[in-house]
Amino acid sequence: MAEALHIQPHITESKAANSSTGPATETSDFRPHHQRNITKWLRIALYTIVGFSGSASASLLTRLYYEKGGTSKWVGTLVQVVGFPILLPYYFFSRRKVVDTAAAVEATPPSLLSLVCVYVYLGLLVAGNAYLFSVGFEYLPVSTLSLISGSQLAFNAFFSYFLNSQKLTPFIINSLFLLTISSVTLVANSDTERPPGVSDGKYVLGAVCSLIATAMSGLSLASQQMVFRKVLKRQSVKVVMDVVIYQSLVASIVTSIGFLASGEWKGLKREMEGYALGKSSYVNTLVWTAVTWQVCIFCGVALVFELSALFANVIGAFGVPITPIAAMIVFHDKLTGIKGISMVLALWGFLSYVYQQYLDDRTLNGETEKQCSLGV
């Protein structure tokens, strides 16, 4: 698997020109800069905490589906994308709150064809990503899959360099290095772990599909950042909701077609009856998996809009050791010293990135105060 006037200087050289990131609405914001900053960081903290919870819960529930008798890869794909209707009430509420007083100063809105192409492109990425991850969830332990996902940072940095002119400062590079080492450390401890009945071939297939899905996740977040900056060119919660809703709609249509074409729907009744936890738990597992995945997607997209795709990936990578710990509690895995070291490395990498954000924020505040003192 889920909004800004504040400019991050290391993200892209062109952001100063269009102010495409940071907390903003479609109306003028006359609050003091420091008040807008506090609000922005409160939102980021909220998205981060909820995103952590959603990601861990979604991963555990998806694995639970396969652990207790689920076998359909397309069902595992669908639950990752079809939960977007739960956001519709908030989506329509956010649309009603939009006041069109800034229409005169906004850039020319993108054409309908441009929007359709953007949402179809993002939706196809989400659908492909979800299917490949469903293969990983079926054949890999949650801990192994989550740490493979940590390499998403490297893929995102690569794609953001080309799509968003991403600049990698020393603190960012340090963060990427530490988070990557954190994942590699856990991988070294997970080579022998695999679900019961999974052959070597299926284990390798799951690992390869998960790695490709991770690369697609990095491309998806980098693409979303580019879309916010170059295509949509507007700052509001509504913009984030548009991206989440429409890309999820496209992904749901694509995966539904795949599900029907595969014929796996014919075996759902038998799968439900044979589910180890019972029919009711089968339905509840799928419903709550869909809900938690959508929460995770929304928070991820919101973090891309607030700061950058790279920040969203750092948040995701920081959560890599958290999911294995949750898996230890749910699936009774052992807590080893290697996993503890990995957690420390992830925390260090996360703090390194946060410190870079602090430096950028301090630089922006200094420039703003200087302009105010000069009467600009």
Question: Could you write out the DSSP letters of every residue in 62-101?
Answer: HHHHHHTT---HHHHHHTTTTTGGGGHHHHHHHHHT--GG
Helical spans, DSSP H, in the chain: 15-18, 33-67, 73-78, 88-96, 112-139, 142-149, 152-163, 170-188, 200-226, 237-262, 268-273, 279-306, 309-318, 322-331, 337-373
Q: What's the rounded Cα separation, in Å, for the pair 16 and 20?
A: 8
The listed range with the strongest mean pLDDT (262-266, 333-337, 357-361) is 262-266
Q: Does 3 reside within a domain?
A: no
Tell whether 81 is covered by a domain.
Answer: yes
Residue 14 has pLDDT above 80, yes or no: no
Cα(293)–Cα(290) distance, rounded to whole angstroms?
A: 5
21 found inside a domain? yes
Instruction: Name the pLDDT band for 263 (thresholds 50, 70, 90).
Output: very high
Domain assignment of residue 5, yes or no? no
Q: What are phi and psi of 341, to 5 degrees?
A: -60, -40
The whole-number average pLDDT for the span 210-234 is: 87
- pTM higher than 0.85: no
- Residues near 323 by Cβ (< 8 Å), separated by ≥ 6? 55, 56, 59, 60, 142, 143, 146
Bigger pLDDT: 366 vs 178: 178
Count of the separate structural domains present in the chain = 1
Burial of 201 (0-12, 13-18, 19+ CB in 10 A): exposed
Residue 48 lies in a domain: yes
Q: At residue 224, does pLDDT exceed 60?
A: yes
7 lies in a domain? no
Mean pLDDT of the chain: 77
* 2 found inside a domain: no
Q: Is 107 exposed, middle or buried (0-12, 13-18, 19+ CB in 10 A)?
A: exposed
3 state DSSP class of 316: helix
With CA atoms as reference, report the closest residue to 19 among 335, 29, 116.
29
Q: What pLDDT was estimated at residue 124?
A: 97
Band (pLDDT 50/70/90 cuts) for residue 225 is confident
* CA 77 to the chain's CA centroid: 16
Does residue 76 fall inside a structural domain?
Answer: yes
Domain, as residue range, for 88: 15-373
Give dist(CA 57, CA 73) in Å, integer: 19
* pLDDT tens track for 59-100: 889 989 998 999 899 999 999 999 999 888 877 876 665 544
